[in-house]
Homo-oligomer: A and B are copies of this chain.
Amino acid sequence: MLIVKKFGGTSVGSNERIVRVARRCVEEYQKGNDVVVVLSAMGKTTDVLLEQARAINPRASKRELDMLLTTGEQTSVALMAMAIQAMHVPAISLNAFQAAMHTTSNYGNARLKRIDTERILHELSERKIVIITGFQGINKFGDYTTLGRGGSDTTAVALAAALHADACEIYTDVDGVYTADPRIVKNARKLDEITYDEMLDLATSGAGVLHNRSVEMAKKYGVVLVVRSSLNDSEGTVVKEEVSVERMLISGVALDKKAARISVMGVKDEPGIAFKLFNVLAKNNINVDIILQSIGRDNTKDISFTVDEDAADEAIELILENKNRITLKSVNCKKDVAKVSIVGAGMVSNPGVASKMFEALYNVGVNINMISTSEIRITVLVEEKDGEKAMNAIHDAFGLAES
């Protein structure tokens, strides 16, 4: 079997942790498996480097930032190779040049295009554990790029796809995917299995175990993902196309406190207004989530939508800059809101899921501000202070604590 294992920054945050991860990789290797390891930079390295860059040049070019940041993973992989070699198992570290991780050219947020696996396969054929820098690639200019948020997960999935790996294990500081965040919902339960689509909807809804890009890529190439803890040996959660057991109605509840609601009031009731509004935001890479449109007074409409809290101020600015084109009267922003979502592939064939969710919220007196649905997801916007209460109420109503 060929196994790709990805460990995040926390898992390799100290010498001791590196040795622990090394032992884990050696155990896998000694079962007779081929092992490819993908690593992030150690602990807070990336943040420290960014701070240092900012001190020298607050507007450092993205090209040079990537040149700086890529040293982080290179340090991790070299130390990991040494740790494995200390256990008398052959190992070799490879950076993005050596592993030939070709990406698009945009620095700071590149996308993987192609991996030339020749070198990796050669090293595996010599029965070495191959340790590869996550998060980084090289572009057509022969420059380092980085993959943006969740980059190392993406590296791992892409490698698993390119190498036709039997599994891609993503090690993190949690045991797997839970029915809800265990820090908020005390009786949250770990799921054994979940589908790609459910995982995607959970990620979009603020359950941050895996980044969307990596799950999308896994789905596209049929890579079976396993989310496991780097701190213990528990089984983790398998993410795949179809789950084998009869499905529960819903798999999990997610809470996203980082949402903000923007309301654009009094736009003209004529074609193209919504396009103009959201086009301005899209062109500036601002993701819009729930959208709601209602009739206003005097032949006008009100359009409300949610964005990531961090992007709210920029969104408002952009809207005001285009005030005349969008024909708005006023705009306001509310940041103390939260998105609560339920996700489940079983939802498609079961009517009444939404009403059961709304009933649970009504029973604990939580007011619903906006609603959005997809085939396997229902999201409501509530006051931020009500978020955790809402999450617990829904978790109980659907009986998610019982397996």
Contacts and interface: CB of A to CB of B under 8 A. Distances in A.
Interface residues of A, number: 37
Contact of A85 (B55, B61, B71, B79): B61
Contacts of A93: 64, 67
B86 A75 contact: no
Interface in A73-92: 74-75, 77-79, 81-83, 85-86, 92
Interface in A33-88: 49, 52-53, 55-57, 59-61, 63-65, 67-68, 70-71, 74-75, 77-79, 81-83, 85-86
B71 A71 contact: yes
Contacts of A63: 92
Contacts of A56: 15, 18-19, 79, 82-83, 86
Contact of A79 (B52, B77, B92, B119): B52
A53 B81 CA distance: 10
Contact of A75 (B19, B68, B85): B68
Given A142-B97, A142-B119, A67 B81 contact: yes
A68 B78 contact: yes
A82 B98 contact: no
A74 B15 CA distance: 22
A55 B83 CA distance: 9
Interface string A171-207: 0000000000000000000000000000000000000
Copies held by the complex? 2
Contacts of A119: 142
Contacts of A55: 15
A224 to B, nearest CB: 31
A46 to B, nearest CB: 13
Contacts of A52: 15, 79
Contacts of A79: 52-53, 56, 68
A28 interface: no
A309 interface: no
Contacts of A78: 53, 64-65, 67-68, 71
A143 interface: yes
Contact of A71 (B19, B75, B83): B75
A70 B64 contact: no
Contacts of A82: 53, 56-57, 60-61, 64-65, 68
A24 B151 CA distance: 37
Interface string A96-138: 0110000000000000000000010000000000000000000
Most chain B Cβ neighbours within 10 Å, of A56, A61, A86, A93 = A56
